[in-house]
Structure 1
Amino acid sequence: MNSTMQKPSNSTRPRLPRELRLPAVLAAVVVILLLVRAVLSALAPGGPSAAGTLPDEVPDAPEWVTRELLPINQYSRPGKKLTAVNGVVVHYTGNPGTTAEQNRSYFAGLAETGETFASSNFVVGLDGEILECVPLDEVAYASSQRNYDTLSIEVCHPDDTGAFNQASYDALVKLVQWLIDTYHLDRDQILRHYDVTGKECPRYYVQHPEAWEAFLDDLTF
């Protein structure tokens, strides 16, 4: 073997000029941070949704709505901003006979139990009371992939059929009409949870689609 042949040393490999090394490292760190942020955002229930717009100013709910906001926490009120209000999603609580206050307390309790991700912007009670639990410009964990561009309403019901009593129904109509007028929504932007995910919610209006159409007919667009 020719004794004059040597293995190339690391010093002969091309290297960035010293003045470019720090900017290159900083650029790599920025890219990594952006990737981490994207992954965390994707893991949140719903993830960022359809592009849209929000009003220049967040409207205040009417005086007939009681504001009882949940504490900011990762399970029921993440404090993330909506990307738009492109619709309203109606749900039923699935807990026959429970009150609006009880359902609001369940959402608040998730901050301690961490058992699931769940909440709603509004809860309509059996006596027609309406609680605002998550502000109108924030994400509620209610409608899966539509969390970021819709507002959600949970409605209490007296029995397993999921049918709303008259007081709850009238309050729901009043609230949805206000949201329609405030955000300039169309008929096809008022949705059942079923229309978003296929879940049987609100049960009565999934099992009786004609009743859902009658509800929409009670609204003015």
Structure 2
Amino acid sequence: MIQVIEDYIPVNIYSRPGLKLKAKRGIVMHYTASPGASASNISKYFASLAQQMVSKGSKGRYASAHFSVDRTSIYCSLPDDEMAYHCGSKTYTQEALKKLGSYPNNSTVGIEMCIEKDGSIHEETFNRVVDLAVYLIQQRGFPEVFFTHKEVVGWKDCPLPWIKQPDQYERFKQAVHRKLNSLVEPAAMEDDEMNQVLNYAEWAWRELDQYIGDAYKDQIIHEQAWVEKARKRALTYGELLMLKVIIDERRRKGMQSQRD
């Protein structure tokens, strides 16, 4: 179980509007652009925006992210079911509009990765971010859908270390995928357990409805029966495991072919 330090910033117009997310559609990856700054410092910066003195004619600075991660800690600046100002823009990429909606801030969770003094992302930070992503998907109902800040807005080179080394971004997504699939191994469950209907809370079923519905709409899967089974709350553990592997792998291959 990951350890998260709750360091909630006060509700304010600049960094925590206090609005609930309209949906959970993806996880957006950022970097702090502040060499050597800790996760605690980043969280304090977001909180400080509430106190900024704005001159007449100025709109002030709007910025925040849900999580800041460094080599030793994860700070949470606002609840992951609230909207943060982490990927707002006047324009968005077509992929972001398709997957995240017209205003991605209200359907995503934002993660800030702290960088070392040389501008790199330390391996311990990398691993901690992998664990956080797995937690958000496994425990908090976010789909295994990742965007860099640049993939959302198109113009911002963020997170810069991954823009410079895209293979590290791919390594991250693969590490998350492997860890998610290792959490439920078919051999670890008896046959009767695999055939049991999922014992999910209503909010989790709604997220699953959307996950499978989006896959059907995007022609990742072609059998509407799976959509209906999710709507009727009749999916079993074994069926979900099979669907997840199929959907995630087909999406990964689809995104790879688009990049190629």
Please give the range of the TM-score, normalised by the shorter of the 2 chains. Answer: 0.5 to 0.7
Q: Distance in 2 between matches of 1:87 and 1:160?
A: 29
1:192 aligned to which of 148, 151, 155: 148
- 1:175 counterpart residue number: 132
Q: Distance in 2 between matches of 1:95 and 1:167?
A: 17
Q: 2:75 is paired with a residue of what secondary structure?
A: strand
Structure showing greater Rg:
1
CA offsets, 1:115-171, max 9 Å, x none?
Answer: 30000111102x33001111011000001131000000111101353x210221111
Gap runs ≥5 in structure 2: 55-59, 89-102, 181-260
- 1:152 counterpart residue number: 110
AA at the equivalent of 1:101 = S
- 2:49 counterpart residue number: 110
How far 1:63 moved relative to its partner?
5.8
2:13 aligned to which of 65, 69, 74: 74
How far 1:94 moved relative to its partner?
0.6
- 1:122 counterpart residue number: 67
Q: Which runs of 4+ in 1 moved over 3 A?
A: none
* Identity between Structure 1 and Structure 2 (%): 34
Q: Distance in 1 between matches of 2:111 and 2:123?
A: 16
Q: 2:68 is paired with a residue of what secondary structure?
A: strand
Higher normalized helix content (fraction of residues) = 2
Q: Structure 1 length normalisation: TM-score? A: 0.67
CA offsets, 1:56-77, max 9 Å, x none?
Answer: xxxxxx6611111000000000
Q: Structure 2 length normalisation: TM-score? A: 0.57
Confirm or deny: 8 A CA contact 1:70 1:134 kept in the other structure.
yes
Q: Distance in 1 between matches of 2:167 and 2:51?
A: 40
Gap runs ≥5 in structure 1: 1-61
Q: 1:174 is paired with a residue of what secondary structure?
A: helix
Q: 1:219 is paired with a residue of what secondary structure?
A: helix
- 2:229 counterpart residue number: none
